[in-house]
Amino acid sequence: EVQLVESGGGLVQPGGSLRLSCAASGFTFSTYSMNWVRQAPGKGLELVSYITSSSTIYYADSVKGRFTISRDNAENSLFLQINSLRDEDTAVYYCARPGRPYAFDIWGQGTMVTVSS
Amino acid sequence: QSALTQPPSASGSPGQSVTISCTGTSSDVGAYNYVSWYQQHPGKAPKLMIYEVNKRPSGVPDRFSGSKSGNTASLTVSGLQAEDEADYYCTSYAGSNNLVFGGGTRLTVL
């Protein structure tokens, strides 16, 4: 079964850090770009970052300089290091696979990041 | 403010058809045939319903269809069923490896 499972979310104070992980299974992870998409409570979806199979990286302007995406193809895992957290980073963070051109066909269940003092 | 404009709400009775619009610009929706639609039930992850304007992934009912005219894409749900009640989001490729999202539409089945 093709599956993505996120972990690493939690409650963190402003200015703090977290490392999110996404474990992939059921497909050849190394051949796919992988993405992080977030959704603030009651809000829409926002593409946060992606990393291609050749390790080209993109960040949304809102997270540039604070978030770092990486992948470990040997472990079929995607990561997102999030530093200098702000209130507005509070969201469910999903990892997603673009199995169709510019479309995410597989999503994880999401991991909640809450930034609060 | 989202890059793509969707109506905040839409509704229809069971068995009816409803169409949700997604308006962009000549730099995104109008420029590329890479419009996708996602369905999201409360507390769940989004689910891909339409990609490349009008293609359905395996397992998505043919009651769901997509189209595009100029800078506006549309998702039509025919033969509305109770389980279609959800939030729907559109996305479009915008060039230079950028992807833009709509703000979402809450579909209510009356």
Sheet of B64-69, strands arranged across? B18-23, B72-77, B64-69
Residue A81: half-sphere exposure toward Cβ, Cα within 13 Å: 7
Distance CA B50, CA A99 (A): 13
The count of other CB atoms within 10 Å of the CB of residue A30 is 12
Quick one: what percent of chain B has pLDDT higher than 90?
A: 94
Question: Confidence band (pLDDT; 50, 70, 90) for A27?
Answer: very high
Q: Which of A44, A101, A107 sits opposite B34 (nearest CB)?
A: A101
Q: Residue A87 pLDDT more than 90?
A: yes
- pLDDT, residue B1, reads 59
H helices of chain A, in order, are none
Q: Which of A47, A103, A108 sits opposite B48 (nearest CB)?
A: A103
Q: What angle do CA A36, B106, A41 make, to 5 degrees?
A: 45
Query: Is B102 at the interface with chain A, CB within 8 A?
Result: yes
- pLDDT, residue A38, reads 97
Please give the average per-residue pLDDT across B37-44, as a whole number.
Answer: 97
Q: Which of A6, A35, A45, A55 to mutate to test the interface with B (most CBs of B within 10 A)?
A: A45
Residues written for chain B: 110
Question: Confidence band (pLDDT; 50, 70, 90) for A13?
Answer: very high
Closest listed residue to residue A94, CA positions, set A9, A1, A2:
A9
- Helices and strands (DSSP H and E) totals, chain A: 0, 11
Kindly report which listed range (A83-97, B66-80, B95-109) carries the lowest average pLDDT score: B95-109
Residue of B nearest to A94 (CA): B45
Quick one: what percent of chain A has pLDDT higher than 90?
A: 97
Question: Confidence band (pLDDT; 50, 70, 90) for B3?
Answer: confident
Question: Nearest C-alpha of chain A: how many angstroms from B16?
Answer: 26
Question: Confidence band (pLDDT; 50, 70, 90) for B70?
Answer: very high
Distance CA B29, CA B73 (A): 7
CB contact under 8 A, A102 and B46: no
Question: Confidence band (pLDDT; 50, 70, 90) for B97?
Answer: confident
Question: Nearest C-alpha of chain B: how many angstroms from A96?
Answer: 10
- Chain A residues at the B interface, defined by Cβ less than 8 Å, are 44-47, 50, 56, 58, 94, 100-105, 107-110
Distance CA B36, CA B4 (A): 12
Question: Nearest C-alpha of chain A: how many angstroms from B23?
Answer: 16
CB contact under 8 A, B51 and A58: no
- pLDDT, residue A4, reads 98
Main-chain phi, psi angles of A75, to 5 degrees: -105, 5
- pLDDT, residue B73, reads 98
Q: Which residues of B touch A45 (CB under 8 A)?
A: 38, 46, 89, 91, 101, 104
Distance CA A17, CA B91 (A): 30
